[in-house]
Structure 1
Amino acid sequence: MTGTGTRRAVVVGGGLAGVTAALQLAGAGVAVRLLESRPRLGGLAFSFQRGELTVDNGQHVYLRCCTAYRWFLERIGGTALAPVQDRLDVPVLDVGRARPRLGRLRRTALPVPLHLAASLAGYPHLSLAERASVGRAALALGRLDPADPALDGIDFATWLGRHGQSPRTIEALWDLVGVATLNATAPDTSMGLAAMVFKTGLLSDPGAADIGWARVPLGELHDTLARKALATAGVRVETAVRVRGLARDPEADGRGWRVETDGETLTADTVVLAVAQREAHALLPEGALADPDRLLDIGTAPILNIHVLYDRKVLRRPFFAALGSPVQWVFDRTEASGLAEGQYLALSQSAAQDEIDAPVAELRERYLPELERLLPPTRDARVRDFFVTRERTATFAPAPGVGRLRPGAATRAPGLYLAGAWTATGWPATMEGAVRSGFTAADAALRALGRPHEHPLKEAA
């Protein structure tokens, strides 16, 4: 097995990280088996059936600067199904003042940072002084190095306060973006990760923050199309298979691996663990990491998704963000779900620690009146269905200090690699980070195997 013949790899986990690693390994001539414990691929970005509707477990978006996820979409043939806005344009509706006010965060074609100047100058949710302070903070943020370990030790709110950002500015701008991308409010966010998000998304290129999202169910992309791409690449995909343990293969001079499942024992030259951090901790053999318990110190953060079906159209925009309301972001999922009549709205509620376990009846009582405040047409509409999806461990928590806990792809055990958005990608827990981790794990494995290959992203080559 360790000679000059075909090399074999087992990828454990069929989320975006695992699918990416499998595609990259197979593309370099490695024989790959991908094992997923669920009956589907896609990890935490998936779809399910509810009657005749196809429902995403939650709203997932990406930005134009997410070059790895855009590669993934192209690789599986899904680019046209998840297009990006021509230009960043985010409607922001504030119902917390005497009269509701609609503002917009949108860019022009001017170079950075002028591309957002006109939008900020006219942003009605901040005072003139607050708008000016945003510009000064943005310039200071642009001078930071997100990889500086010192930034990981402080929280975003402290840094913003030091740079003249009022509580209102944090609420109406920094957290408006940060909660959705980082799944945490500013006090609970590592400054290093916040700097990475805002510097890359808003200060790297005029179009970096243009928003993309799937116009079809996520399962069509991350399961159906991903399976086709894997099959074409020669990857053997097995779902509903749980891995019980990993061990060195004594018949391969200790350099190969045995992967124990419920039904059989597999052997491989390379294993990629593309599972959540706690699952990885349970499977890691002794000595694979210097301090494996650090994985257990990486916290998790929940996302709550509220789904409302109305008997008529109540929203004429594809999405909007809200201020002055517990509602954060609202998306129109009517067409993607297959709903023939009425309208289907999905509310994406990040950093939802206080509500993740709330009863559906309580959430209905709280959020339906809020939608009536935000969208007056809902007052005359009938609610045909109201349901909730909960991802209690949707992302790793981007808390200060998390950077020192996130491991790299390579372990101390030759031939064993880690992948997942929680590994040391430099990105928060996003689809982009997951794909990047798959690249990194496959790259390390192929180098060890002596297999020539090219990294898909020039920036990381």
Structure 2
Amino acid sequence: MATPSNTPSAPVAGRDVCVVGGGLAGITAALLLADAGARVTLVERRNELGGATYSFDHDGLVVDTGQHVFLRCYGRYRALLERLGSADLARIQPHFRVPVLSHGRAPHVLARTRGLPAPAHLLPALARYRLLDARERVRAIAAAGALRTVDPDDAANDERSFGEWLAEHGQGPRAVRRLWDLITVAALNTPAQHASLALAARVFRTGLLERAGAGDIGRPLVPLADLHGRPARRLLTRLGVRVATGRRAERIRPDVTGFRVVTGGSGGRTAQDEMLADAVVLAVPPRAAARLVPPAAGAARDDWHRLGSSPIVNVHLRYDSPVTRLPFAAAVESPAQWIFDRTPDSMPGEQYLVVSISAADDTIAAPAARLTAVCAEAVAGLLPAARSARLLDAFVTREPRATFRQAPGTRALRPGAATRIPGLVLAGAWTDTGWPDTMEGAVRSGHRAADVVLAHLASADRTLEGTR
């Protein structure tokens, strides 16, 4: 992560900036603004930083709300981990390799061929993908080649469905289910049928088709709180940032001196407080942003609700004995879309698996008992050792608004960082980063927000100098 000059002569030295939201976007913006010499206050309604990437305790087991992986091409996100000093707490596989499970079959490994340049690095994998027949494989290779020519920044492509595009390029329903949706559902939290072609092209081109190593998968080795939130708090505090957790932003009011930010205890337990700021970064989800942005920011805020949301459900299964050696695996035509081994060192002889279900509109409200039974049965059908293991514990975590709904036409609804009120800036993976709603998108939005704030403060200084 690039660090601007932190010297008294910097234009923003001594200026007050309030960052609302302690997720990856807010953390990134706060770090960069502190680097530039601003006096930064970071307000977060939860008691810990991390935003959507947080952890909690369940009967002595540290549980992440969601299973977050990243790709080698997530350059800004990986730079943030380096800055936080937690890069060693995540591991990137040496080459893209995904075991694909299906009921009653041995795992099929979908992997890139080392030593071959893109896109040839994926040709052997597609040519041997036994979950498709020979004709489907040939058509899949042709479609992958055609996808390299789809411009993810073309607004017309955002208006189209990825599923429609796949059908035009010879991909039948089975090929979509068994191949394309393996990636689309996990990356965009929606199936190809309902996904923006532009966002799908960003995922496949950037992650898989343009550089051989770009799609290598990284995963945390520790709970997300230890990867993001706690190291971020330590670093921000060391840089002089005031970190106010357990505080909820209630109102933001522009005035002649800048902004008045009114906060209160997140549970309504403490009195309201008011702080003055020369600029404000709103790094919160679209619903919260629409509530906080003053009307003078423009009618566009009314469109943010139209982004909608897509849920993710995670089913947590704890077995009395190991049932797989795979660190993670995808599954086709199964309720268990992705399975992650999250067994901590403190659980010898047992295994803790998490089944992650994206695009979970049909299951988000299902009773926990039904979800755990369905997923335990699905895992037993995919991993034979699970049939003889005893299930010690099973529970469900739900993320009703895990991402915005990354459907055709959403690019026009995603706002840029700047609002119509100078100094009031937006951040978050839902803003117009050109990327899907991912950790990389969140960090990129934090960079952009910091750039806009710094430009605003520098401009305000020049205007002030001109009036003297």
Fold shared, TM-score > 0.5 on shorter chain: yes
Aligned residue number for residue 205 of structure 2: 199
The alignment's TM-score, normalised by the length of structure 1, stands at 0.94
* Range with greater deviation from structure 2 (263-272 or 402-411): 263-272
Whether the 8 Å contact between 1:53 and 1:339 is mirrored in structure 2 is: no
Q: 2:337 aligns with which of 328, 337, 347?
A: 328
Deviations, residues 435-457 of structure 1 (Å, cap 9, x unaligned): 11101100111122229xxxxxx
Aligned residue number for residue 393 of structure 1: 401
Q: CA deviation at 1:5?
A: 5.9
Alignment of 1:192-341 (within 5 A): 192-250=198-256, 252=257, 256-262=258-264, 263-335=272-344, 338-341=346-349
Secondary structure in 2 aligned to 1:242?
strand
Aligned residue number for residue 103 of structure 1: 108
Secondary structure in 1 aligned to 2:170?
coil
Q: 1:186 aligns with which of 192, 195, 206?
A: 192
Q: Distance in 1 between matches of 2:217 and 2:179?
A: 16
Structure 2 unpaired stretches of 5+:
1-10, 265-271, 460-468
Q: 2:71 aligns with which of 60, 63, 70?
A: 63
Deviations, residues 101-146 of structure 1 (Å, cap 9, x unaligned): 4211111221011111111111111111111111111111111110
Q: Distance in 1 between matches of 2:51 and 2:382?
A: 33
Q: 2:53 aligns with which of 12, 36, 45?
A: 45
Deviations, residues 264-320 of structure 1 (Å, cap 9, x unaligned): 110111100000101000000112134220011111000000000000011111011
Corresponding letter in the other structure for 2:107: L
Q: 1:370 aligns with which of 374, 378, 388?
A: 378
Q: Distance in 2 between matches of 1:85 and 1:232?
A: 32
Q: Distance in 2 between matches of 1:419 and 1:395?
A: 14
2:452 counterpart of 1:444: yes
Q: Distance in 1 between matches of 2:144 and 2:379?
A: 33
Aligned residue number for residue 367 of structure 2: 359
Alignment of 1:70-89 (within 5 A): 70-89=78-97
Secondary structure in 1 aligned to 2:94?
coil
Aligned residue number for residue 422 of structure 1: 430
Secondary structure in 1 aligned to 2:418?
coil
Per the alignment, do residues 232 and 204 of structure 1 end up closer, same or farther by CA in structure 2, a change over 3 Å counting?
Answer: farther
Alignment of 1:25-174 (within 5 A): 25-95=33-103, 99-108=104-113, 109-174=115-180
Whether the 8 Å contact between 1:17 and 1:437 is mirrored in structure 2 is: yes
Q: Distance in 2 between matches of 1:320 and 1:5?
A: 49
Deviations, residues 351-389 of structure 1 (Å, cap 9, x unaligned): 000001111111122121111111111111111100000
Whether the 8 Å contact between 2:12 and 2:458 is mirrored in structure 1 is: no
Per the alignment, do residues 4 and 168 of structure 1 end up closer, same or farther by CA in structure 2, a change over 3 Å counting?
Answer: closer
Whether the 8 Å contact between 1:277 and 1:296 is mirrored in structure 2 is: yes
Q: CA deviation at 1:218?
A: 0.4
Q: 2:182 aligns with which of 176, 180, 189?
A: 176
Secondary structure in 1 aligned to 2:339?
strand
Deviations, residues 179-209 of structure 1 (Å, cap 9, x unaligned): 0000000111011111111110111210000
Q: CA deviation at 1:4?
A: 7.8
Q: Distance in 2 between matches of 1:215 and 1:5?
A: 38
Whether the 8 Å contact between 1:40 and 1:223 is mirrored in structure 2 is: yes
* Range with greater deviation from structure 2 (84-93 or 285-294): 285-294
Q: Distance in 2 between matches of 1:430 and 1:241?
A: 25
Q: Distance in 2 between matches of 1:289 and 1:327?
A: 43
Number of residues of Structure 1 aligned to a counterpart in Structure 2: 441
Q: CA deviation at 1:339?
A: 2.6
Secondary structure in 1 aligned to 2:313?
strand
Deviations, residues 15-54 of structure 1 (Å, cap 9, x unaligned): 1110000001001111100000111111111111112211
Q: Distance in 1 between matches of 2:196 and 2:166?
A: 12
Corresponding letter in the other structure for 1:249: D
Deviations, residues 204-262 of structure 1 (Å, cap 9, x unaligned): 21000000010000010221111111112221101000111011134x2xxx1110112
Q: Distance in 2 between matches of 1:137 and 1:288?
A: 43
Aligned residue number for residue 454 of structure 1: none
Secondary structure in 1 aligned to 2:281?
strand
Per the alignment, do residues 53 and 104 of structure 1 end up closer, same or farther by CA in structure 2, a change over 3 Å counting?
Answer: same
Corresponding letter in the other structure for 2:101: L
Whether the 8 Å contact between 1:249 and 1:267 is mirrored in structure 2 is: no
Structure 1 unpaired stretches of 5+:
452-461
Deviations, residues 378-420 of structure 1 (Å, cap 9, x unaligned): 1111111000000000000001111100000000101000001
Whether the 8 Å contact between 2:84 and 2:232 is mirrored in structure 1 is: yes
Whether the 8 Å contact between 1:91 and 1:102 is mirrored in structure 2 is: yes
Q: Distance in 2 between matches of 1:438 and 1:15?
A: 10
Q: Distance in 1 between matches of 2:333 and 2:170?
A: 22
Corresponding letter in the other structure for 1:104: V
Q: CA deviation at 1:323?
A: 1.4
Percent identity for Structure 1 against Structure 2: 51
Per the alignment, do residues 104 and 4 of structure 1 end up closer, same or farther by CA in structure 2, a change over 3 Å counting?
Answer: closer
Whether the 8 Å contact between 2:178 and 2:333 is mirrored in structure 1 is: no
Secondary structure in 1 aligned to 2:344?
helix
Corresponding letter in the other structure for 1:231: T
Aligned residue number for residue 406 of structure 1: 414
Corresponding letter in the other structure for 2:401: T
Q: Distance in 2 between matches of 1:271 and 1:87?
A: 41
Root-mean-square deviation (Å) = 1.3
Secondary structure in 2 aligned to 1:146?
coil
Whether the 8 Å contact between 2:414 and 2:432 is mirrored in structure 1 is: yes
